[in-house]
Amino acid sequence: MTVRTTAPRATSSAPATTAKAPSANAVAPRAAAASTALTAPPAGLGKGDSGAKVKQLQQGLVKLGYLTQAQMNTGVGSFGPATEAAVKKFQGDHKVPTTGYYGEQTAAALKKALAKATTPPPTQPGKFTKPAVISAPSPNNDSRNGADIDAIVLHHTGSNNGAGDMAWMRNPDSKVSAHYMLDRDGKIYQLVGDSKRAWHAGKSELHGVPTDVNARSIGIEIVNDGSGKTAFTDAQYKALTQLVGYLKQEYKVPANNIVGHKDVAVPKGRKDDPASNFDWARLRKGIGG
């Protein structure tokens, strides 16, 4: 679901009452891990610079999801427009002035972020606890009418402005909502209680069978503009892994019922979220299937 657009859309609210369809690590050696550990380069890099330190910066940005490997490969060791844009996105997410210059504050933030990234998310199914959430209630919900939760639907919000996206989903006039929203810094906001029916999927089907997906699912919005060029952050992947792992475990959701909005929206092609650069393999590996 695209939460916000230039013209407000309310495509995900109307209750549907159709029949319910049936549900259907390798760990690298420690020595190798230590030898390839990424660290932040010294500060003092900007557009036009080149060399090993720029390559080290690029590798860190790839690791954290701010630069794609393909983007790095086209300009390895060169601080060009793609690297500058990635630095700005990183700075914005870490409350550092978005200058695009890799200075002392940015270097300190990158060092901290890379240190956190070395701690892997839980990978064993059945070992998840509910992550910390921030309560931000939305009035846009109704009853599940007795339906069991057996699906999880992922969305991108359609913007990189978490505060604006959340305000829209809490606005009664929008008639859209989700159970959870993951901001770019990894914070998780709960807008609708799990027991309630959030308005996120609209007209939909599951595995080709028309059904009220809203009534049987948990909806999760990930703050991302959906362009396919803006990376989902490392913090988002970590938080999402913990949240989806917990929900999968808590409600015994089959792995093939963890889907994107584009997989359930009717007609096909009506939605495209989560964006094409969302790493499904990373999520599925993290939750154990």
Which residue type sits at 132? A
Listed range (9-13, 93-97, 112-116, 201-205) with the worst mean pLDDT: 9-13
The mean predicted confidence, pLDDT, of the chain is 86
Listed range (34-48, 60-74, 134-148) with the worst mean pLDDT: 34-48
Mean pLDDT of 94-98: 90
Active site residue 221: yes
Domain with CATH 1.10.101 in the chain: 49-118
In this predicted structure, what is the pLDDT of residue 230? 96
In this structure, whether the domain defined by 49-118 belongs to CATH 3.20.20 is answered with no
Res. 72 pLDDT band, cuts 50 70 90: confident
In this predicted structure, what is the pLDDT of residue 119? 53
Mean pLDDT of 254-272: 95
Mean pLDDT of 77-102: 92
Whether 204 contacts 267, CB under 8 Å: no
pLDDT at 118 > cutoff 70: no
pLDDT at 260 > cutoff 90: yes
Task: Report the DSSP beta bridge partners of residue 102.
Answer: 45
In this predicted structure, what is the pLDDT of residue 3? 58
pLDDT at 286 > cutoff 70: yes
Among 84, 104, 205, 221, the one annotated catalytic = 221
Mean pLDDT of 275-284: 96
pLDDT at 52 > cutoff 90: yes
In this predicted structure, what is the pLDDT of residue 70? 83
In this predicted structure, what is the pLDDT of residue 13? 45
Res. 16 pLDDT band, cuts 50 70 90: very low
pTM, two decimals, is: 0.64
- For the domain with range 134-287, which CATH number is right: 3.40.50.10470, 3.30.70.60, 3.30.70.80, 3.40.80.10? 3.40.80.10
Percent of the chain at pLDDT > 70 equals 84
Mean pLDDT of 246-259: 96
pLDDT at 87 > cutoff 50: yes
Q: Comparing 8 with 63, which gets the higher pLDDT?
A: 63
In this predicted structure, what is the pLDDT of residue 126? 52
pLDDT at 32 > cutoff 90: no
DSSP codes joined into one string, the chain: -----SS----S-S----PPPPP------HHHHHHT---PPPS-B-TT-BSHHHHHHHHHHHHTTSS-HHHHHTTTTB--HHHHHHHHHHHHHTT----S-B-HHHHHHHHHHHHHHTSPPP-STT---PPP-EE---S-EEE-TTPPP-EEEEEE-SBS-HHHHHHHHT-TTT----SEEE-TTS-EEE-S-TTEEES-S-SBEETTEE--HHHHEEEEEE-B--SSSSPPPHHHHHHHHHHHHHHHHHHT--GGGEEEHHHHBSSTTS--PSPTT--HHHHHHHHT-
Q: Comparing 63 with 159, which gets the higher pLDDT?
A: 159
In this predicted structure, what is the pLDDT of residue 217? 98
Whether 152 contacts 258, CB under 8 Å: yes
Domain with CATH 3.40.80.10 in the chain: 134-287
Whether 4 contacts 171, CB under 8 Å: no
